Structures are given as structure tokens and as C-alpha cells.
Amino acid sequence: MAYLFNTPDDIREMLGAIGVDSIDEFFDQIPGHLQLDQPLNLPGGLSEPELESHLRELAAANKGTSSRVCLMGGGVYDHFIPAAVDEVASRGEFYTAYTPYQAEASQGSLQVFFEFQTLICQLTGMDVSNASLYEGGTAVSEAVFMSMRVTRRHSRVVVLGSLHPEYQQILETYLGNLSCQLDVIATPDGAADIEVVRDALDEETSCLVIQQPNVFGTLEDVESLCEAAHEVGALAIVNFDPISLGLLKSPAACGADIAVAEGQSLGIPAQYGGPFLGILACKQQFVRQMPGRLIGQTVDRNGERCFVLNLQAREQHIRREKATSNICTNQGLLALRATVYLSLLGRQGLAEVAELCCRKAHYAAQRLSELPDLELMFASPFFKEFTLRHHGDSNQLIDRAAAAGFDLGPALGRFPRLRESLGDAADQAVLVAVTEQRTREEIDRLVDALAATPSAPTTPEALSKPA
């Protein structure tokens, strides 16, 4: 039985309603050279049991972090998620609730978002947070637009080359049809040179975008970079790793004006690359330029505590030309997961997770560097992620590890924007991320496996092979 079908009478009724006699006549408006002159090369239809069986076979081909050892990084990380996060987030009151738009929205949902904002402010040291954005990449772009409104400078944006290349790509897309210049400062040594950055900034710059830890896993001198931005009247935007704040200074303590992040590490599974959670927080004086929704606390007519949507500067609520953003929703369910996760860990738990990540990452870096074909690419300090240089094509290293049940990466050669910083060395670079999930035994097994499978001989042809 077909899943979707129209009877001949249905078809005649629809064609009559739009004023054509046949389906062929309906498609006459499409130029002939764009129309197929033969049926699509599709397999035959399946019955419902056959389709279910086929989908199960496809699903079984996926290998998750529960069946392999994950040391992949680049913005998505394999952190432990307490069972209580899934238990609370799966409750029907939250799981099936539609995104609240108006003041009469569920008080329970609004309270969750208010608690989320509170926790993000405590985490970042900033004065105010919105109730989440889509994900980390668009959060960076929204922060840039916010800085342009605050400074009233619309002609120039500066980002470090150590900002995630996909975030750079998103920002480039957002700015593509605007008369705004996007300048990227190369970071060939794995972290920014303060004097180079200072020379690149001027009175036309609206903001400087910094990632901490950066895409290579290394740590930037965020305080000095923020000072350099402020010297020319620009805002400092810091894209941070939430887990790292268990050990590192908060964005506010480093002088950031706006703090943004990808919140996936806060109780959200890798789930095939999304959906994830965008975080944005800022200083109090910039709150009226903040995108998205903001939840406030007040009292009702009976004097009882209640929550409301306030500062609704979105296109849905006010005229487009006065809106701070066209963002019309937030990641409510994932913000709930982050709220539960942070509440369960608390300050001490977050610090312990961060310390475990840091210690295990440094142990892994030390052991892997003992292998003759591997070395750390940069001498800069790092937190939980580091860049290895493989004396050959980095994809060979990834394949050798994968064959032994370990997932590394990504290879930095896959990102054209990183070649501007690393040159041909990008083909030798691979990221390794070590979270609190990894054990000494797993790290030792990885080293033994790589030592037992020598890499292919290094040749000029191998080094120039596309990633």
C-alpha cells in the first residue's frame, strides 16, 4: 500500500482548482532542459516490514561512543551525562512542551529558562544571559552583530585564525551581503601574537573574536587580547568551552564584553552533530542589544513569584527594523539538559570534571609523543584537547587508530581556512580530545596499537594528498 496517494478524483479536483488540465501542463512552466525525460533511478518500493528491517540494518551500521573509544574533538565532546539529566528532560511536561512565545507561556518552562540564565551568568561571570540560541556557531555571529549595534561600527570585524573554521564560515556567510569587512589574523604558532593583533585593530573595528581554548586546543592570552580590543574602542567577544571554566578564568574576569559558547558539553549527547545549544551572555549595559529571548522574574497580582518573557526585541514581537535579531526560538529542551547537568555537578563537580579532563589530556599527549612518528604541534598550554603532528598524512594516523577501535580527529587538513594559518603542515595535523570519560588503560592501549602498526612511508606525494 502506498504511504501517500491521491485518487484520480483528487488529482482532477486539485488541477481544476489551479486552472490546468493535466499534470504535464502544470509542469510546463519549468524550462524543458531542467525536466527529466526519464524516470528517476530509484529502487522498487518496500512493504512496511521490509522498510523497518532495512532501516534497522542501516542503524546498526552506526557506531557510537558506547561501542568505541572516542577521542574526537573539534567542538563536540564525549563527556559523561548523569542519568538524572535524561530522566528530567524526558518528562512529558518538558519533552512535549512547545517553545513558549507569549506571556501566558507555561510557568514551568519559563522558570527552567530563568534558572538556565542564572547558571550561565554564574559560570561566565557576566551580568545577564539570554535563554539560549541555536548553537555555538550562530551564537558567535549574533554576538558580532550585537557588537556592531553597541559600537555603531559596521565596517570591520576581526577574528583570530584560531577561531573554529566552521564558525568563521558561518560568520562569513552572515556578513556576505553586508558592507562589512571580515579580517582573520593568522595564528601559525597555535595561539595569537598579541602585538600582531594589536597592530591589526583600529578605530573602525567593532569587535575582536577570541576562542578559549582555541580550535587547536591551546590557550590564548585572553586578558591581553581583550585589552587590545578595548584600546581601540572595540568589544571583546570570547567563545569559551563551558567545561574549561572549572579551571580557567571566566570570560568576565578576562575582560570579555560578550561571552558565547557551544553548550553541547553540558549534558547533551553528540547525537550525530546536533541539535546543540547556543550560549550568549554579556555585560548589563548591553542587555538591550541582546538577541533572542530573555526571561525575567517578578510577582503576580497575588504577590507570588512568577516568570515572564521580557525585553522581547525579536522580529516576532516588534517591527523588523527595530529587532535585534531574526532568531525566533531557542533550544529550550537542550537548555533544560544543561540546567540539570550544571545543577547536579555544582561548582565542585565542574572543577573536578575539568581537572580530570586536563590531567588525562596531558597524560595522553605525553604518551602519544613518545611514538617516533608523532609530536605535539604547538608548545602552548592546552586544556583537554591538543594537536598532534603526524610525520605523514594525518588521515593515515586516524585510519590506524580507527582500525584498533579508537576514534581521533578531525584532521585539520579538511578545513581550508586553517591552511591560511598552518600552510602544508595542516595535512599532518590531527586533533585529539580527552575527556573525563577516558581511562589510563584506554590511552595506553591506543599508544600500544599505534606502536604496533607503523605508518606508511612519508613521501611528498603523501603529504600533498587532499584531506
For 397-449, what is each residue's pLDDT tens digit? 999 999 999 999 999 999 999 988 888 899 999 999 999 999 999 999 999 99
Q: Above 60 in pLDDT, residue 458?
A: no
Question: Does a structural domain hold residue 310?
Answer: yes
pLDDT value of residue 318: 62
Q: Above 90 in pLDDT, residue 67?
A: no
Question: Residue 411 gets which letter from DSSP?
Answer: B
pLDDT value of residue 308: 86
pLDDT value of residue 298: 93
**Domain end call among 340, 358, 384:** 340
pLDDT value of residue 169: 96
Question: Does a structural domain hold residue 352?
Answer: yes
Question: Residue 153 gets which letter from DSSP?
Answer: -
Per-residue confidence band for 325, with pLDDT thresholds at 50, 70 and 90:
confident
Phi, psi of 329 (to 5 degrees): -150, -175
Q: What is the mean pLDDT of residues 223-229?
A: 98
- The answer to whether residues 283 and 364 belong to one domain is no
Domain count, the chain: 2
- The answer to whether residues 129 and 156 belong to one domain is yes
- The answer to whether residues 325 and 379 belong to one domain is no
Mean pLDDT of all residues in the chain?
91
For 330-358, what is each residue's pLDDT tens digit? 788 999 999 999 999 999 999 999 999 99
Q: What's the rounded Cα separation, in Å, for the pair 296 and 346? A: 23
CATH number of the domain enclosing 455: 3.90.1150.10
Q: What is the mean pLDDT of residues 350-370?
A: 98
Displacement of CA 159 from its chain's centroid (Å): 17
pLDDT value of residue 320: 62
In which residue are the cell numbers 603526524 written? 390
Question: Does a structural domain hold residue 157?
Answer: yes
- The answer to whether residues 73 and 107 belong to one domain is no
**Domain end call among 340, 370, 395:** 340
- The answer to whether residues 226 and 351 belong to one domain is no
- The answer to whether residues 406 and 359 belong to one domain is yes
Per-residue confidence band for 457, with pLDDT thresholds at 50, 70 and 90:
low
Question: Does a structural domain hold residue 11?
Answer: no
Evaluate whether 385 touches 213 at the Cβ level (below 8 Å): yes
| Percentage, residues of the chain above pLDDT 90 | 76
**Domain end call among 312, 340, 368:** 340
Q: What is the residue-wise DSSP string for 166-230?
A: HHHHHHHHHHTTSS-EEEEE--TTSS--HHHHHHH--TTEEEEEEEES-TTSBPP-HHHHHHHHH
Q: What is the residue-wise DSSP string for 254-320?
A: TT-SEEEEE-TTTT---GGG----EEEEE-GGGGGG--S-EEEEEE-TTS-EEEEEE---BTTTS-G
Evaluate whether 205 touches 156 at the Cβ level (below 8 Å): yes
In which residue are the cell numbers 513569584 written? 305
- The answer to whether residues 266 and 240 belong to one domain is yes
pLDDT value of residue 80: 97
pLDDT value of residue 467: 35
- The answer to whether residues 226 and 179 belong to one domain is yes
Question: Does a structural domain hold residue 59?
Answer: no
pLDDT value of residue 137: 96
pTM: 0.87
pLDDT value of residue 14: 94
Per-residue confidence band for 319, with pLDDT thresholds at 50, 70 and 90:
low
- The answer to whether residues 393 and 247 belong to one domain is no
For 102-123, what is each residue's pLDDT tens digit? 545 688 888 999 999 999 999 9
Question: Does a structural domain hold residue 250?
Answer: yes
Which of residues 312 and 156 earns the better pLDDT score? 156
pLDDT value of residue 251: 98
Question: Does a structural domain hold residue 184?
Answer: yes
Evaluate whether 276 touches 264 at the Cβ level (below 8 Å): yes
- The answer to whether residues 182 and 309 belong to one domain is yes
Q: 445 is in which domain, residue-wise?
A: 69-78+346-463
Pick the closest to residue 390 from 430, 353, 362, 354 (CA basis). Answer: 430
Q: What is the mean pLDDT of residues 58-69?
A: 88
- The answer to whether residues 119 and 137 belong to one domain is yes
CATH number of the domain enclosing 162: 3.40.640.10
- The answer to whether residues 357 and 308 belong to one domain is no
